[in-house]
């Protein structure tokens, strides 16, 4: 069952992957071509610096290295592997491989958080991968070994980041913790970006508008909502919400970019949404039957 507070948390957390689903349209329409790592860097580091400046809270003690680990997993390494996979694979293949993340989180939660791994969670995870495949995979898609490994690696590091974010609960305000991770992830991406893609190109006003949108909405707001959901909800429930990202990306491509939407894609979208809803519904435990006995004093019976 869904309580009012849990429903509110799920709906607000779902905003994060929905915002991430707008990245494709923003990237193709506003950003310079062939600079994926630069996009990852400029959506993470400025957003993190902004949140740290607003909260004026720095890590203390173990949270210096924990922020580095979480920022690398959730943002730095994840984005680097994600873009390598996206460049070497068709988008549909990369998205389908990435859809294994809910299953990975469920397995890691069972091992690291001692949460029960149910058959329903496993089947729902498989259904989610199948639905994303129908939604975005094309018959002409080609496979590339390194691309598949990169996409799978991105799902793995993000799954570890999600589970560790649940295990390591920061005592600092949410926005501060989010800012630490974004800064750490951006600093990890900084040398990789310059090494692979070289110096920054000349930006147009359109490019700056796109980067600003990704930093403010795609990172600062989206990751704050995502990490709040991880603090208060079960990690597996949160990662299933991530399946909304390819649904939003496909829908926007159809509405804004005049991309063709087939019946099979529509079926895939419904399968994804069904898997997502199924993952959020908890079974109500049956109340034990209490046997009531009436004691009759001796001599008053029939």
Closest to 236 (Cα-Cα) out of 115, 112, 105: 105
Q: Which residue has better confidence, 289 or 151?
A: 151
pLDDT tens, position by position, 16-31: 989 988 887 888 889 8
Distance CA 177, CA 230 (A): 12
* Signed CA dihedral, 128, 131, 136, 140: sign only: positive
pLDDT higher than threshold 90 for residue 47: yes
Q: Which residue has better confidence, 191 or 88?
A: 191
Q: Which residue has better confidence, 187 or 21?
A: 187
pTM of the model: 0.84
Nearest-10 crossing angle of helices 263-280, 244-256: 150
pLDDT tens, position by position, 291-302: 545 555 555 444
Residue 91 corresponds to which tokens in the numbers above? 């988008």
The stretches of 91-243 forming alpha helices (DSSP H) are 91-98, 101-112, 119-136, 145-167, 174-197, 205-215, 222-232, 235-241
Q: What helix, strand, coil percent values describe the chain, rounded to 5?
A: 75, 0, 25
Return the pLDDT at 302: 41
Number of residues that this document lists for the chain:
302
Distance CA 234, CA 232 (A): 7
Distance CA 84, CA 80 (A): 6
Distance CA 176, CA 48 (A): 9
Chain mean pLDDT for the chain: 84
On whether the CB atoms of residues 81 and 91 are closer than 8 A, the answer is: no
């Amino acid at each position: 069952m869904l309580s009012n507070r849990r429903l509110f948390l799920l709906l607000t957390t779902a905003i994060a992957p929905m915002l991430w689903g707008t990245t494709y349209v923003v990237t193709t329409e506003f950003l310079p071509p062939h600079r994926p790592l630069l996009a990852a860097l400029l959506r993470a580091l400025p957003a993190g610096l902004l949140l740290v400046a607003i909260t004026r809270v720095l890590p203390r003690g173990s949270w210096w290295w924990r922020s580095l680990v979480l920022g690398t997993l959730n943002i730095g390494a994840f984005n680097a592997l994600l873009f390598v996979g996206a460049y070497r694979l068709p988008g549909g293949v990369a998205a389908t491989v990435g859809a294994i993340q809910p299953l990975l989180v469920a397995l890691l939660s069972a091992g690291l958080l001692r949460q029960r791994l149910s058959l329903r969670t496993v089947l729902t995870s498989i259904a989610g991968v199948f639905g994303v495949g129908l939604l975005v995979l094309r018959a002409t898609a080609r496979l590339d070994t390194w691309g598949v490994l990169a996409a799978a690696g991105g799902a793995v590091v993000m799954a570890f980041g999600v589970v560790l974010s649940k295990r390591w609960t920061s005592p600092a305000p949410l926005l501060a913790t989010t800012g630490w991770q974004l800064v750490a992830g951006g600093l990890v991406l900084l040398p990789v970006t310059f090494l692979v893609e070289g110096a920054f190109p000349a930006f147009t006003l359109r490019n700056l508008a796109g980067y600003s949108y990704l930093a403010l909405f795609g990172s600062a707001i989206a990751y704050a909502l995502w990490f709040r959901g991880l603090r208060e909800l079960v990690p597996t429930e949160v990662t299933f919400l991530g399946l909304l990202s390819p649904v939003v990306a496909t829908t926007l491509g159809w509405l804004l970019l005049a991309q063709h939407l087939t019946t099979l894609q529509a079926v895939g979208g419904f399968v994804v949404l069904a898997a997502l809803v199924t993952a959020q519904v908890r079974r109500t435990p049956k109340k034990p039957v209490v046997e009531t006995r009436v004691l009759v004093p001796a001599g008053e019976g029939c």
